[in-house]
Structure formats: C-alpha cells, structure tokens
C-alpha cells in the first residue's frame, strides 16, 4: 500500500512542475500588465518602462519563472500590486472561506446524492427512478451561474431569508459563537445552490453502481443464505457500491473548484474564486498565477486522494 502511495505521490512532482510552467507562461501571455491600467496623462510612460525594467519584467520568461518559483518554494508568492500586500496574506483569509464553502457543498452533495442514488438504484426503472433521473438531467442541463442567480434573487432578495453577500456580518468578534453562526449562515445559500446542481453526477454514479452490484452472483448467494431484502441491500449492495463513491470524492474536489468561481462571484463571497476573477480584471497577475497554481494543486491532490482512498477501501487493490 505505502509503495503505491509513494509512487503515486512521486508522479505528482513532474505534474506540478509542468502545471506551474504552464500557468506562469499563460500569465505572461496575457495582454498588458499591472501598470497598463495606470497609464494616464499625468504618468510618464518612460517612468513606467523604468519600473518594468526594475521589476525585471523585461527579462526572458525562464529567468522570471526561476525567480518566481524560487519564491514559491520558500512560501513567498510575491506582492499584489493592487492591494499592496503580500499575496500569501491576501490568500490566507480567503482560502479559509473557500475551504469551508467546499466542505459545506460536499456534505450537502452527499446528503442529497446518497438517498436519491440509493432509491434510484434500488427501484431502477420505476417511477421513483425516473423522477430522480429526471432531476439529475435538469441538474446536468442547468448552467450553474443561472441557477445561482435565481437562488440569490429568490431566497436572498425577494424572500430575504439569506444574506446576499459577504462571508460574515461585519463587526462580530472572531471566535465567538455568533461569529461562527454568521459564517455558516453566509455560506449556506451558496453551498446549497452549488450542491443542488453538482450532485447529479454523484447520484448517477451511485445509481449505476447499485444497479450493477444488484446483478452480481454474490447477491444471489446472500439471498440463498436467507438474508432479507433489506439486509441484502445494506450489507452487500450498499457496502459494495459506496466504496467507489468514496473514491469519487477526489474528483468532486476538482468539480468544486470550477463551481466556486461562479458561486463566489455571484454571491459576493470573498473566497479564492472571487479573488481569481478580480485579479484577472485588475491584471494583478502575481495574485492570478498564485491562485491558479493553488487550484491546480488542489485538483492534483484530489486525484491523489481518490487513488489512495480506493486502494485503502478495496482489498483487491490493497494487497498490492
């Protein structure tokens, strides 16, 4: 097992290097830089060029990359031009927000997906299954950003049940109970909106696993032992179908990253996704490359997590 994990982790290193180069080069290719927006009648273009030269922005890309990478490895992601503060600090607050949003979304995804997937798989090709499959098709077909806007309009503005922006009510003392509840309250609507849409893949995956497991020979064996239908489902079918779902977790993380970019912007939730879009529009590309890199790392770690979970839960893989 550990051999597998070590090998799998080692494979990640070249993946990360390629990813970082790609992100850096793409950042460089973007038109303009942090100073382009400052061009105005009262600014001397020659002065801007001077600053560029000073900052080393005219050096060949690989030199700039090496400088950047050197910083990254020491935990220094550079300085934001617009916020005039270290990127690490800027990200620090937001990464926590995004993390809790993701956790809440994941939990809600499973709360919705597991009962629906089980019902759909157990009673496949009945009206229940068709209803649930119908829902997951709608989830599949509805664009997340439109759905999120509708949710925000309905529950946030029209009904006023949920706050419409921010991650916490201003003025509360961090660490108090009110503060935590306020945090939770703020992330609930974005998390529900995202979970309702992204859960379709987990429902369908679970449904297909169950339909598949139902037809296995060992299910007949279980019935021949005298196990009741409920026990056959709980002990044999569910257990064997939920394991692959556990492994699916890692891939959900990748999906969450994409979703959070929309969600955080629509709900004005100060997380990494919002920061990403902001940094693009402001040409704040030290922030941009840093955020993209972190997203990339999260995806790769998600895939790693999937493989490791699968190798832990499945004895057939565990042995090797």
Partner 1 sequence: MSYLEVKDLKVHFPIKGGIFGRTVDHIKAVDGVSISLEKGKTYGLVGESGSGKSTTGRAIIGLNNITSGKVIFDGTDITNIKRTKSEATKNIQMIFQDPYSSLNPKKRVVDIISEPLRNFENLTRKEERKRVQELLELVGLSPESILKYPHEFSGGQRQRIGIARAIALKPKLIIADEPVSALDVSVQAQVLNFMKEIQKELDLTYLFISHDLGVIKHMCDDIGIMYKGRYVEEGTAEDIFLNPQHIYTKRLVAAIPDIDPNKREAKRKFREEVKTEYDQSYNDYFDEEGLAYKLQPVSETHLVALPEKG
Partner 2 sequence: MADKLLEIKNLTTSFRIKDDYHAAVDNLSLTVNKNEVLAIVGESGCGKSALAFSIMGLHTRAKIDGDILYRDHNIAKMTPSELNKVRGKDIGMIFQDPLTSLNPLMQIEEQIGETLLLHNKEMSKTARQERVLDLLNKVGIPRAEYVMNQFPHELSGGMRQRVMIAMAIANKPELLIADEPTTALDVTIQSQILDLINKLKDEMNAGIVLITHDLGVVAEMADRVAVMYAGQIVEVADVKTLFANPLHPYTRSLLNSVPNSDQEQDQLHVIQGIVPSLQNLPREGCRFSARIPWVDESAHEKHPELREVDPGHQVRCTCYKHFSFPDETKEEQHVLS
With binding defined as CB under 8 A, does residue 10 bind partner 2?
Answer: no
**Site track for partner 1 across 9-48, x = CB under 8 A:** -x--------------------------------------
Q: How many residues bind partner 1 (CB under 8 A)?
A: 4
Tally the C-alpha atoms within 13 A of residue 305's C-alpha that lie toward its C-beta: 15
Cβ count within 10 A of residue 124: 17
With binding defined as CB under 8 A, does residue 3 bind partner 1?
Answer: yes
Region 240-269 residues binding partner 2, contact defined as CB under 8 A: 240, 243
Cβ count within 10 A of residue 22: 13
Stretch in the footprint of partner 1 (CB under 8 A) among 3-11, 56-64, 121-129, 287-295: 3-11
Region 188-247 residues binding partner 2, contact defined as CB under 8 A: 216-218, 220-229, 231, 235-236, 239-240, 243
Choose, by CB under 8 A, the member of 1, 6, 51, 154 that binds partner 1.
6
What Rg value do the Cα atoms of the chain yield, rounded? 24
Q: Tokens representing 176?
A: 């108090």
Rounded Cα distance between 31 and 18, Å, is: 22
Of the candidates 9, 19, 15, which has an alpha carbon nearest to the alpha carbon of residue 311?
A: 9
In the bound complex, what is the minimum distance in angstroms from residue 173's beta carbon to partner 1?
Answer: 50
Cβ count within 10 A of residue 130: 13
Q: How many residues bind partner 2 (CB under 8 A)?
A: 23
User: CA separation (Å) from 36 to 30, 154, 282?
Assistant: 12, 40, 10
CB closer to partner 2 out of 54 and 215: 215
With binding defined as CB under 8 A, does residue 1 bind partner 1?
Answer: no
Do 98 and 181 form a contact (C-beta atoms < 8 A)? no
In the bound complex, what is the minimum distance in angstroms from residue 28's beta carbon to partner 2?
Answer: 50
Q: Tokens representing 271?
A: 């997380």
Task: List interacting residues with partner 1 (CB under 8 A).
Answer: 3, 6-7, 10
Task: List interacting residues with partner 2 (CB under 8 A).
Answer: 216-218, 220-229, 231, 235-236, 239-240, 243, 314-316, 319
């Amino acid at each position: 097992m550990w051999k597998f994990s070590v090998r799998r982790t080692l494979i990640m290193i070249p993946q990360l290097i390629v990813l970082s180069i790609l992100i850096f080069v793409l950042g460089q290719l973007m038109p303009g830089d942090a100073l382009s927006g400052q061009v105005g009648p009262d600014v001397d273009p020659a002065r801007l060029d001077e600053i560029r030269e000073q900052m080393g922005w005219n050096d060949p890309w690989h030199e700039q990359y090496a400088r950047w990478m050197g910083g990254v490895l020491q935990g220094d992601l550079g300085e934001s031009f617009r916020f005039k503060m270290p990127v690490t600090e800027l990200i620090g607050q937001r990464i926590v927000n995004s993390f809790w949003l993701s956790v809440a979304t994941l939990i809600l995804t499973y709360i919705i997906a597991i009962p629906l997937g089980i019902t759909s798989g157990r009673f496949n090709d009945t009206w229940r299954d068709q209803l649930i499959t119908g829902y997951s098709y709608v989830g599949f077909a509805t664009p997340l950003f439109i759905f999120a806007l509708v949710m925000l309009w309905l529950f946030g503005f029209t009904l006023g049940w949920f706050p419409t922006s921010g991650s916490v009510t201003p003025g509360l003392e961090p660490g108090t109970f009110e503060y935590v509840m306020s945090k939770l309250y703020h992330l609930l609507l974005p998390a529900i909106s995202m979970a309702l849409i992204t859960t379709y893949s987990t429902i369908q995956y679970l449904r297909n696993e169950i339909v598949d497991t139902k037809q296995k020979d060992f299910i007949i064996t279980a019935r021949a032992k005298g196990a009741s239908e409920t026990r056959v489902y709980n002990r044999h079918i569910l257990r064997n179908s939920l394991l692959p779902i556990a492994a699916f977790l890692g891939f959900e993380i990748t999906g969450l990253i994409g979703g959070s970019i929309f969600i955080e912007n629509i709900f004005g939730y100060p997380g990494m996704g919002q920061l990403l879009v902001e940094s693009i529009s402001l040409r704040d590309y030290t922030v941009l490359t840093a955020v993209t890199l972190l997203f990339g790392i999260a995806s790769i770690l998600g895939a790693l997590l999937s493989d490791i979970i699968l190798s832990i839960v499945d004895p057939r893989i565990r042995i090797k």
